[in-house]
A and B are shown apart, each in its own frame.
Chain A
Amino acid sequence: MNPLSYHRALSTADALSRAGDGAARLLGGGTNLVDLMRKGVERPSALVDVTALPGTIEATAEGGLLIGAAARNSAVAAHPLVRSQYPMLARAILAGASAQIRNMATVGGNLMQRTRCLYFQDAAASRCNKRIPGSGCEAEGGFNRYHAIIGTSPSCIATHPSDMCVALAALDARIHVAGAAGMRTIPLVDFHLLPGDRPDIETLLAPGDIILAVEIPPSPVARNSAYRKVRDRASYAFALVSVAAGLSVREGSVEDVRIAFGGIAPKPWRAFRAEAALRGGPATREAFEAAVIEELAGATPPPEAAFKVELARRTLVAVLTELSGSDR
């Protein structure tokens, strides 16, 4: 690790005045950043600890939820409103990492975490276009069982690792950001970028921007929602495929539906095409099958991850079938 300075910001203004320094990094729980610093992937000369900024979780006037960026993952998952109004979000957070890491990790940090592609993390010996643009991609012809099947580019096939963000994508969350030009909000589905030819640029944040909060609108469909994560062991592993979904059925028809996938794309993958195919149609297994096939029609999996197309199909159909109550 490089020598570095540390400052605990006590106000947003204080953090903003320091975040613009290109060599500075904002520090949340450190569960990803400290590890990447030790591996030589991140080399900040200054850390600005933002965990003393607001981390409260409160209901909004319109009936949604506002979660301060410094809220710990465990606090969000345990919150009564999250558990009752947005069960897919509580379940997604609880599916991620371990209890120790969830106690440390912040919501803002979770949004900014980097891929766990082994080649990205191997600064000593592997080429990686995300780490060093133009250097090449070892995953393309290497070990790519954990890699993405949709939304990739010739430059990068790494997945976004977050579980929480998959639920937030399905819930139409908005990110509150402070920057040099003032405040703005960014829909979560737009916040993360597909790799294209610049996989090193991962979000819409500009240098010096700070995430202040995540806002989730009221969502009746989210009350009947679930998060299912399929992985190589039962717990404490990243997703091969995960699904966040909410479904409301009226008289056999899909009244409303929200679907997002994790583990299959470079960003939390909101399944807009599948949702459009389902909305207003029959809530049947056949319709669920057809919708997911349409969603994944453009999949271009690397060789070792080809199984994920079928796994994603089966997982979504199982989750929607369960939510529709037709398996009872």
Chain B
Amino acid sequence: MAIRINGAEIAVPDDARVSLLGLLREQLHLTGTKVGCNQGACGACTVLIDGERVLSCLTLAVQADERSVTTIEGLSGAGSHKLQDAFIEHDGLQCGYCTPGQICAADAMLREIAAGVPSYITADLAAPARLTREEVRERMSGNLCRCGAHNGIVDAILQVAAERTA
């Protein structure tokens, strides 16, 4: 019984009520992942499980048994992630509270686009989606920013996407 968190094997809590978010913050002191609404409405707690973005507040830690979890600490590693640099450059934050969730979500979202997955606003469901400003806004709608830095967030994500395809 173990969860791989940022590469380390972590024992699954004995109490099945412990959320993945609670395990990360209160037992492992990985406080980069934030508690926002704690009810699946804001995206601040977004982490990656097996590379896919999920909400750690609505995930029981035990559900992640035998799976691989990556948090903002794991994404940035020893330095900083390209998305973090781009968020700073484009003022994609003010208070910064939602930022770890935004970065984790954006990291997974760029892979979803690369895999050709459509969104609700993709005109042609049969063709691979193109990364437009509108697509980024729709695909990032699960991450709220109460400071209203969304325009900068979209700019930052589009810049990183452009660099990757350049």
Contact = CB atoms under 8 A, between A and B. Distances in A.
Interface in A66-124: 74, 77-78, 83-84, 87, 90-91, 94-95, 97-101, 103-104
Interface string B55-66: 100111011010
B141 A34 contact: no
Interface residues of A, number: 38
Interface stretch (A3-11, A180-188, A290-298): A3-11
A118 to B, nearest CB: 12
A97 B142 contact: yes
B31 interface: no
A35 B58 contact: yes
Contacts of B108: 99
A87 B118 CA distance: 11
A3 B17 contact: yes
B149 to A, nearest CB: 17
Most chain A beta carbons < 10 A, residue from B58, B117, B141:
B58
Contacts of A1: 17
Interface in A17-54: 27, 29-31, 34-35, 38-39, 47, 49, 51
B17 A103 contact: no
A97 B141 CA distance: 9
Contacts of B15: 3
A310 to B, nearest CB: 24
A73 to B, nearest CB: 12
A100 B142 contact: yes
B16 interface: yes
Contacts of B125: 83-84, 87, 90-91
Contact of B118 (A8, A30, A90, A101): A90
B40 A31 contact: yes
A103 B115 CA distance: 15
A83 B54 contact: no
Contacts, number: 96
Contacts of B118: 77-78, 83, 90, 94
Contact of A35 (B40, B63, B112): B40
A235 interface: yes
A84 B118 CA distance: 12
A91 B65 CA distance: 32
A236 interface: yes
A49 B63 contact: yes
B155 interface: no
Nearest to A47: B16
A167 B65 CA distance: 33
Contact of A103 (B16, B53, B141): B53
Interface in B95-142: 105, 108-109, 112, 115, 117-120, 125-126, 137-139, 141-142
CB-based closest 8 A-B pairs: A98-B142, A235-B141, A6-B16, A94-B120, A236-B141, A83-B125, A78-B117, A1-B17
Interface of B: 15-17, 19, 38-40, 43, 46, 52-55, 58-60, 62-63, 65, 105, 108-109, 112, 115, 117-120, 125-126, 137-139, 141-143
